Structure 1
Amino acid sequence: MKFKNTLPFALALALLLGAGPASAQVSTPPAGDYIYEGGSGALRVKADGRFDITTIGANAHTCALDGTIVRGKAKLADSGCVVSFAVNADKVAVSTNGAEQCRDNCGMRATFEGTYTRPTPACTDKAVASSRKSFKRQYDAKDYSTALATLSPVLSECEKTLDWITKDWIRNDIALTQLKLNDRAACLKTLQPLAEDAARTDDGIKENYPPADAEIFLPVVRAARTNLKLCRG
């Protein structure tokens, strides 16, 4: 069974934190919004050091926590859990002291440890939503070249911070636009990451993904099946 948003956080953090003080400093991150690995959550930091984190893991399990960062660390209220923040350019590596109480903030299949990235202006949630809205207006007006030029950069530039469902819906939209422009080869290439799942039956998707993940992924897969058939001709 596949579990989305499950990554080797301990290894990634060890590599990042072991890179030396010149590249990563335990300190309070600059105020702003940061996106969790794979677009599956967010870290919000205020100018006074207040922060909150929300993430989502496999089968819709979540984490939620907040507190105040002081010299790069935050001790959660009424808990032995200490959260550390290591800043490296536009990234923040979040780790804990390993206290069992840290798990009290999360469901079984979720974690908040890992890397959070400050998105570029074009990749914020608001900017992505605006680009998708413009794309739809252009697509509905049959201005396919402009629509493709609007949406393609979202996938290429924001792939690391888009959540997996949004990313795959965008793949479907781009592929269908490429088909409208009579570029079947490009359409198939865009949909290639979805081809393996599209070849499965609905029951096969349910067998390979946790229930909540399968429920939100099935509409994406069904669209990909249709689009792959159209692109193959």
Structure 2
Amino acid sequence: MKIKHFLPFALPLALLLGTGMASAQASTPPAGEYIYQGGSGALRVKADGRFDITTIGANAHTCALDGSIVRGKAKIADSGCIVSFAVNADKVEVATNGAEQCRDNCGMRATFEGTYTRPAPACTDKAVANSRKSFKRQYDARDYSIALATLSPLLSECDKTLDWITKGWMRNDIALTQFKLNDRAACLKTLQPLSEDAARTDDGIRENYPPADADIFLPVVRATRTNLKLCRG
């Protein structure tokens, strides 16, 4: 069975250095919430250095850990796992010392190492939820142009912090609104990233995705098939 991977693992140090992370400083991140790459988790830091991390990987496998950061490092209780935090502007690079005990915090297909980004104000979970509620009110009132202006910018502005399922639903909402505005070309362009999966059968989706991922993705795929038919005419 061919499995797609949704959570990239931590980049090798050489690549990080080559992409501007060389300036990252090992230190306690400023208090706040940082979103894991692909919107698949979060790092929350308190003013006193206490932190917790939760992430989700393929097939709904998860990671969960917490502790206290001191000078950019945290030793996980009752283990040899040491987690390091390198701050660079609005990003925090999380890595470990490679101890086997670090895996004790995760399911087989999940990891917590990688890049966490402080979301833009419009891209926090609460802000996105509010924008989607506003969009629905506007759409239901047939204020399609206003609804499109409310939701469409989030796809680009929040690309790095939205999870893949939310992106899929948002693409369908935007595409259907574009259809209502008689812009079929824009509708098809919005759905293009989902078109390959939409062309698969339900069984094809299950063959290409882990079981739990297929279950949550299939409703998005089915909506995409319907909306592609509308926009193709």
Mapped to 2, the partners of 1:117 and 1:30 lie a distance apart of 12
- Following superposition of structure 1 onto structure 2, how do residues 152-167 of structure 1 map, counting pairs within 5 Å? 152-167=152-167
- Does the C-alpha gap of structure 1 residues 220 and 19 become closer, same or farther in structure 2, counting only changes over 3 Å? closer
- Does the C-alpha gap of structure 1 residues 20 and 127 become closer, same or farther in structure 2, counting only changes over 3 Å? closer
Give the TM-score normalised by the residue count of structure 2.
0.96
User: Which amino acid letter does the alignment assign opposite residue 6 of structure 1?
Assistant: L
SS of residue matched to 2:115: strand
Mapped to 2, the partners of 1:196 and 1:153 lie a distance apart of 23
Deviations 1:172-218 (A, max 9, x none): 00000000000000000000000000000000000000000000000
| Paired positions, count | 232
Deviations 1:129-170 (A, max 9, x none): 000000000000000000000000111100110000001100
Shift of 1:14: 4.1
SS of residue matched to 2:229: helix
SS of residue matched to 1:43: strand
What residue number does 1:9 align with?
A: 10
2:9–2:113 contact (8 Å) kept in structure 1: no
User: Which amino acid letter does the alignment assign opposite residue 130 of structure 1?
Assistant: N
SS of residue matched to 1:10: coil
SS of residue matched to 2:93: strand
Which runs of 4 or more aligned residues in structure 1 lie more than 6 Å from their structure 2 counterparts after TM superposition?
Answer: 18-22
What residue number does 1:204 align with?
A: 204
Mapped to 1, the partners of 2:123 and 2:175 lie a distance apart of 20
- Does the C-alpha gap of structure 1 residues 22 and 109 become closer, same or farther in structure 2, counting only changes over 3 Å? closer
Give the TM-score normalised by the residue count of structure 1.
0.96
What residue number does 2:37 align with?
A: 37
Mapped to 1, the partners of 2:11 and 2:158 lie a distance apart of 24
Shift of 1:5: 2.2
What residue number does 1:77 align with?
A: 77
What residue number does 1:137 align with?
A: 137
1:85–1:95 contact (8 Å) kept in structure 2: yes
What residue number does 1:228 align with?
A: 228
User: Which amino acid letter does the alignment assign opposite residue 34 of structure 1?
Assistant: Y
Mapped to 2, the partners of 1:232 and 1:86 lie a distance apart of 48
What residue number does 2:52 align with?
A: 52
Q: Supply the RMSD in Å over aligned alpha carbons.
A: 1.4
Mapped to 2, the partners of 1:21 and 1:205 lie a distance apart of 36
Mapped to 1, the partners of 2:172 and 2:161 lie a distance apart of 18
Structure 1: which 5+ residue stretches go unaligned? none
Mapped to 2, the partners of 1:124 and 1:226 lie a distance apart of 30
What residue number does 2:62 align with?
A: 62
User: Which amino acid letter does the alignment assign opposite residue 6 of structure 2?
Assistant: N
1:16–1:24 contact (8 Å) kept in structure 2: no
Mapped to 1, the partners of 2:21 and 2:205 lie a distance apart of 45
Give percent identity, aligned residues only: 85
- Does the C-alpha gap of structure 1 residues 229 and 46 become closer, same or farther in structure 2, counting only changes over 3 Å? same
Shift of 1:16: 2.7
Shift of 1:3: 2.9
1:34–1:118 contact (8 Å) kept in structure 2: yes
